[in-house]
Amino acid sequence: MQIVLELPEDASAADRARLHYAFRLFCAIYGHQPITEYAKVTNHDVTLRYGNPGGSSCLAKERRIVWMSRGYKARDPRQPAPPPFQYVSQENCTLLHYAPTGECTPDWLGEIFEWVSCADEYSVTERDLVGRPLFAATYAGRHHLDTTIPYAAIAMQGLQRAICSVVPRASEDPGRPCRKAHLVVPTHDVDYFPAGRWHAANRLIRNAAISFAMNHLPALGVRQAGMALSVAIGWTPDPLDQIARLARGERRRGIRATYNFLTRHGHRLDAHYSLDHSGVVKTMRWLESQNMEIGIHGSYMCLDQPDGLARELSHFHARGFFPRGGRQHWLRYTLDRLIPAVEHAGLTYDTSLGWSAAIGFRAGASFPFPPYNFAEERAATFLEIPMVMMDQAFQAQHDNPEAWLSKADDLLAKSRRAGWGGISLLWHPTAFGEGWLPSNVGDIYWRVADRRAECGDAWMSAEDLVETVRQRFINAGLLPEVEAVTADVMAIEERVGAGVEVEIGGLHEPGLKPPSGLFGT
């Protein structure tokens, strides 16, 4: 569908840039062709126009015009967003930043921009102990929002319904890039690498202390202390060494996941390994042979320098690995530093946007999107794949497995109802085996994975997702054109639809064995 957007003549340059961004993003997700008000076209399907229809809703339908309230006006992102209020109509029930006026539909483009740009987050100055924006001070925290609701996706649904009201042949369902599947990216941040039994015993003792003192899990703490003793005297292998077992379980299920590795130990909160360790490189090559993707896990301090992420990426290149994206360690970032760093490194995606202690949609988005670069008033040059679910957010429900499984199922169901997905999940390898978290937390990953087919979910690596959806964002004018892609998207769709693993980008060498020392080998 060809859609024309007409903005008011007195709209500022920032208004135009931001609303055009939201418009193009909506078109990318729904598969429409965006046309700006500057283009001279006569055969378009519908017009989005700001203003008052003058009391003639019939005329609007006849001319296929959707009249939107003029709500959004550009502000400095250091100023907080207006508080939300409940909006209820015959077609929609959601939260809005701006009240609709007269007979006009809400300013859905303004709502999309407020959520997806995370504009309010730039105004948050309070930081937690790691240096991240304090959740209680964020928009969701201040206003006690239900983070499991994808507000940006709901705003897009509202706009599509408004379009359907004047173009009856239009479908409310977004055109899906991969048949009828809901796309999910499983990821694993490698924050621990085996370095001998004494190192493992020390880590297990620390985890036991945390289980006792901080997580109030005394039974788990006792078991972890017992593990530490057993490992120290050589009775059992390292229970934290779960990479091989995890990858093998995924391979048996036809899942291609993304494993993010750190390059260095530059801070006490970084993992105690680097790419200089031969065992790390061997493990990465073995994972590639198992058809897994290798991504970059930006170190704790890498964003403290503008070129920090790019320099860490060069360490991968020097060893023959070419990650296309990754995630920041500890989720330690602010958007004003993350966006230029990922762009400077030339990465095609990032999966950092999420919370460690809560599940849900940090940008209100249940879909991938290029973040908004406020410094240059444009879309970023990479895709953000929202991280909506992390292992440690479930440890509070360890004693009620069905409760946390229900939470996970409900979150994914909301994403499915909102569109075709493009979200990421994070389970650390150490979340399996009880060396860090209760066993039920690891089990939830496998239970959700094993139900993916019946739920209509297609699990794929982050780079496969990017190859599958990138052209939609190029067509909408949000991402730059690229040279020949590295994968055949149709082949990805056919394999995913058939429930077969997708082999792209890795060394497929069935005879290559995992490096010695990996638990479960």
pLDDT digits (tens, 9 = 90+) for 254-281: 999 999 999 999 999 999 999 999 899 9
What is residue 513's predicted lDDT score, i.e. its pLDDT? Answer: 56
pLDDT digits (tens, 9 = 90+) for 388-444: 999 999 876 556 778 889 999 999 999 999 999 999 999 999 999 999 999 999 999
Sign of the CA dihedral with 115 first, then 120, 121, and 122 last: positive
Strand locations in 257-318 (E): 258-261, 293-298
Question: If you compute the radius of gyration of the chain from its CA atoms, what whole number of angstroms results?
Answer: 24
**pLDDT tens for the 521 residues of the chain, in order:** 999 999 999 999 999 999 999 999 999 999 999 998 665 677 889 999 998 776 555 555 557 999 999 999 999 999 999 999 999 988 789 999 999 988 899 999 999 999 999 999 999 999 999 999 999 999 999 999 999 999 999 999 999 999 999 998 889 999 899 887 999 999 999 999 999 999 999 999 999 999 998 888 899 999 999 999 999 999 999 999 999 999 999 999 999 999 999 999 999 999 999 999 989 999 999 999 999 999 999 999 999 999 999 999 999 999 999 999 999 999 999 999 999 999 999 999 999 999 999 999 999 999 999 999 999 999 999 999 999 999 999 876 556 778 889 999 999 999 999 999 999 999 999 999 999 999 999 999 999 999 999 999 999 999 999 999 999 999 999 999 876 444 444 454 454 444 444 433 333 333 455 554 443 33
pLDDT digits (tens, 9 = 90+) for 43-89: 889 999 998 776 555 555 557 999 999 999 999 999 999 999 999 98
Tokens of 78: 């250091």
pTM of the entire predicted model = 0.92
Q: Which CATH superfamily is domain 182-194+240-497 in?
A: Glycoside hydrolase/deacetylase (3.20.20.370)
What is residue 196's predicted lDDT score, i.e. its pLDDT? Answer: 92
Structural element, H or E, at residue 187: strand 182-190
CATH 3.20.20.370 positions along the chain are: 182-194+240-497
DSSP 255-266: ---EEEE-----
Distances 427 to 188, 259, 442, 456, 510 between C-alpha atoms, Å: 5, 10, 8, 21, 25
Of 294, 247, 232, 266, residue with least CA distance to 463: 294
Tokens of 130: 């790691």
